[in-house]
Structure 1
Amino acid sequence: MLKQRFGIHHFASSNKDIRFFTRFASYDHLMRFWALIEPFLPTMISVQQNIDTTPSTHSLQPIDEFFLFLNFLALGSKQQDLADQYGVHQSSVIQIITTWSNFLFTVLGSIRIWIPENQIHKNLPRDFEDYPDTTVIIDSIELRCQCPSSPLLQSEVSSFYKCRCTLKGLIGIAPHGPVTFISRLHTGSISDEQITRESGLLALLKPGMAVMVDGGFPIDDIVPCKIYRPEFLSGGPQMPVGEVRKTEAIARLRVHVECLVRRVKEHKLFDSEIPLGVFGIVNQLYTVACLLTNYENAL
């Protein structure tokens, strides 16, 4: 009976629990997001798994399947633990996670997130007054993953800087905060320049725009627009006072995208070692987690 009662409505009176289990700020935020996606449920294609044909103890309502999926993202829960909590078979958990990752990837991915320049300027925060042509603040994000058994694949996902197996993506936000660009994940060995080339970002940038990047992001020769970055000297002449202030200002503004990376990793699936078992849908899971940050605190 306890397992049957485990679900979203069990925590409706506790925003703290909703935040813990889903990363949404409150039950009201979560329900408003549900109202946005519920009309698209008839288009959902259930992914059948051939892992185990044992019937489930009982089926879940769509809203509790959604809650289970959010638990998986937010807590990085083991599939067997979710099966025990919800009173379903583990094969059903895998099916629910795969089905909902594909569904949300399709529904949320169909909404254009790249914001037109005039809208960015209209919502430009006062902090960016000295950099009014900033269109996007970008950063790379590295996610730890299980190392494959193949030595060749291990070399592909090994990060040169972090000496471990990782997946790497490029993410961008508008100056006023929302996520406006998400690349697919690449193996951790890819360089920042190469991931920028392959991400599709260059096709969105125009000469009148500016992109804000980290001090070590070497994309000057490939972007068609202005670049703002904090400059750091090591062992050279002292930086002029004006350049010091500019560097400090840009570094402060870049904190916004660094905060976003932390928010993505608040989905504990991506703040721990991603299991090889979800590699088939890891791009969908990652993209959905990034897109959800636009809804979790502001609806």
Structure 2
Amino acid sequence: MISLCPRELLSPPQTRLSESRFSPDLLTAAESKQVKNPRSPDYVPSVFSTALAADGAEQVEPFDGPDKHQAQVEAANALLFLQGQVLEAGPKAEPFPEPGGAEGVMCASGCPDTSVRVGASPSSSPCSDSAAEHEEEVGRLRREVRALRELAERSSLTEAALRADPEKVRFYTGLPSFFVLETVLWLLSPHLRADKGVKLSKFQQLLLTLMRLRLDLRNQDLGYRFGVQVGAVARTVCAVVEAMSSTLVPTTVFWPSRDELRRNLPAAVRLACPDCVVIVDCFSVALERHGEVNSVDGTPSSSLKYLIGVAPQGVVTFVSRGAPGHVSDRELLESCGLLGKLLPGDVVLADRDLDASEAVAARGAQLRVAGHDGTEEDEEKRALRRHVSRVIGMARRRYAMLNGPVESPFAADRAADMTTFDRVVRVVCALNNLCISAAPLE
């Protein structure tokens, strides 16, 4: 058996270990003890479980105690940091920032919240100042949007805008109130289209047509206002005019009885001509292009002529069909059908001489020209003449389309011996009768 000298016993452990690696025969039983601490230079890994001492406790190497305790402290610190706490024992690590800390705290807007610092007031926080500025800006924008909406509503042509503005109703439609406009819409509603192929609502169709009659706006202008094509405007006007001609005209333009006429005669007529039943006049409307519209006898014409009969109260009671402009007033009066409504003793007033006294006298009635009877005019006759002039021009002043010129499609489209413009004249007279201001004329 080989023995070790004292010099070898006093050498450092790693020297012995290194020597033992190259000289296995030099190891003794004491030097072959297994070291369990992985930090020890003599640590040798093993697949076997740790051997227990005689008292049953696990053997602890000199390096196990402090290292194991340090690892436990670091693990505990890491766990407590996640919970917002710090373990005092062991090496002190940098703690995580707490929610209430003065540094590293962010507000909802993303800027440092300095209002939580000691001695700082919330009112002086940049974040609170920024929030106040944002709130003020939001309030200003809301007020601006509200004002723009009100302006758009006032300048629009919607049903709500006209309902709230009677003056707008009178200007665009000629009707006295929104209630009358609603009544006309209710009467026409069954005869107006409202399917997917029609972009305009029933109210918009009626409003567009009334604006065409009232202001004589061009189709291009109406197309821009209502956001439709020019062709759609023309089709809409023709369809609504035809519907009003078949439904509105028969209920508003009719010949009243003699008792109804004499029940509420205006003062000017009652004093000067109590037997007056109608005031007649003829007016002509120029065509847009001469020679494109032919009369019944095939003669080209540059205008259309109409005879209109108005009761002394201002209500239109008779409208003739359009005749070529070269037809005389007498010929139109004799052929239009008005003479067939006269009774013996009736008086027909005119603003000018129509040269039709013989035709009227054949019915047992009398034709008189207001203020032109060959005698000196007195106050009653002058009042009668003013009244007749106002009554005759009322419908034409209220609806500018009657002043012309007539566009070719309105004059050339003849159906049942009646052009579209003939229907327009009848519809305008019917709308005139719906106006409350047309009844009493003093």
Smaller-chain TM-score bracket: 0.7 to 0.9
Q: Name the structure 2 match of 1:51.
A: none
What does the per-residue CA deviation read over 1:229-275, in whole Å, with 9 as the maximum and x for residues that have no partner? 24659xxxxx5xxx2136x6445324334324433223122224221
Q: Is the 8 A contact 1:170 1:195 kept in 2?
A: yes
Q: Name the structure 1 match of 2:358.
A: 221
User: 2:340 is matched by which residue type in structure 1?
Assistant: A
Residue 27, structure 1, aligned to residue 171, structure 2: no
Q: Name the structure 2 match of 1:133.
A: 275
Paired with 1:207 and 1:189, the residues of 2 have a C-alpha distance of 31
Paired with 1:26 and 1:198, the residues of 2 have a C-alpha distance of 37
Q: Is the 8 A contact 1:210 1:228 kept in 2?
A: yes
Shift of 1:72: 0.7
Identical positions, percent:
23
User: 1:70 is matched by which residue type in structure 2?
Assistant: L
Q: Name the structure 2 match of 1:271.
A: 403
Shift of 1:177: 1.7
Residue 82, structure 1, aligned to residue 215, structure 2: no
SS of the residue corresponding to residue 245 of structure 1 reads coil
Residue 173, structure 1, aligned to residue 310, structure 2: yes
Q: Name the structure 2 match of 1:143.
A: 285
Q: Is the 8 A contact 1:137 1:254 kept in 2?
A: no
The count of residues paired between Structure 1 and Structure 2 equals 269
Alignment of 1:55-204 (within 5 A): 59-111=199-251, 113-129=254-270, 130-149=272-291, 156-157=300-301, 165-204=302-341
What does the per-residue CA deviation read over 1:162-204, in whole Å, with 9 as the maximum and x for residues that have no partner? xxx3211111111122111111111111101000011100110
Q: Which has the higher contact order (CA 8 A, sep 6+)?
A: 1
Q: Is the 8 A contact 1:8 1:67 kept in 2?
A: no
Q: Name the structure 2 match of 1:10.
A: 161
Q: Name the structure 2 match of 1:50.
A: none
Shift of 1:89: 2.2
SS of the residue corresponding to residue 110 of structure 1 reads helix
Paired with 1:278 and 1:151, the residues of 2 have a C-alpha distance of 10
Paired with 1:74 and 1:285, the residues of 2 have a C-alpha distance of 11
C-alpha change, 1:270 and 1:152, in structure 2 (3 Å) is closer
Paired with 1:150 and 1:32, the residues of 2 have a C-alpha distance of 38
User: 2:258 is matched by which residue type in structure 1?
Assistant: E
Shift of 1:155: 6.7
Paired with 1:64 and 1:152, the residues of 2 have a C-alpha distance of 34
User: 2:276 is matched by which residue type in structure 1?
Assistant: T
> Which consecutive unaligned segments of at least 5 residues does structure 2 have?
1-148, 414-419
> Which consecutive unaligned segments of at least 5 residues does structure 1 have?
47-54, 158-164, 234-238
Q: Name the structure 2 match of 1:162.
A: none
Superposition RMSD in Å: 2.9
C-alpha change, 1:205 and 1:149, in structure 2 (3 Å) is closer
C-alpha change, 1:258 and 1:145, in structure 2 (3 Å) is farther
C-alpha change, 1:118 and 1:232, in structure 2 (3 Å) is closer
- For normalisation by structure 2, the TM-score amounts to 0.55
Q: Please, which of 423, 429, 432 is the counterpart of residue 290 of structure 1? A: 429
User: 1:185 is matched by which residue type in structure 2?
Assistant: G
Q: Name the structure 1 match of 2:393.
A: 262
Shift of 1:125: 2.1
User: 2:406 is matched by which residue type in structure 1?
Assistant: I
User: 1:11 is matched by which residue type in structure 2?
Assistant: L
Paired with 1:34 and 1:282, the residues of 2 have a C-alpha distance of 21
Paired with 1:182 and 1:257, the residues of 2 have a C-alpha distance of 17
Paired with 2:351 and 2:432, the residues of 1 have a C-alpha distance of 22
C-alpha change, 1:217 and 1:81, in structure 2 (3 Å) is same
SS of the residue corresponding to residue 171 of structure 1 reads strand
Q: Which moved more, 1:99-108 or 1:18-27?
A: 18-27
User: 2:255 is matched by which residue type in structure 1?
Assistant: W
Paired with 1:8 and 1:261, the residues of 2 have a C-alpha distance of 32
User: 1:23 is matched by which residue type in structure 2?
Assistant: G
User: 1:256 is matched by which residue type in structure 2?
Assistant: H
Q: Is the 8 A contact 2:371 2:384 kept in 1?
A: no
Shift of 1:150: 5.1
Paired with 2:393 and 2:322, the residues of 1 have a C-alpha distance of 17
Paired with 1:181 and 1:28, the residues of 2 have a C-alpha distance of 26
Q: Which moved more, 1:263-272 or 1:130-139?
A: 263-272
Paired with 1:152 and 1:294, the residues of 2 have a C-alpha distance of 31
Paired with 2:292 and 2:201, the residues of 1 have a C-alpha distance of 40
SS of the residue corresponding to residue 356 of structure 2 reads coil
User: 1:176 is matched by which residue type in structure 2?
Assistant: Q
- For normalisation by structure 1, the TM-score amounts to 0.79
What does the per-residue CA deviation read over 1:198-224, in whole Å, with 9 as the maximum and x for residues that have no partner? 110011012121111134211111012
In our comparison, the structure showing a higher alpha carbon Rg is 2
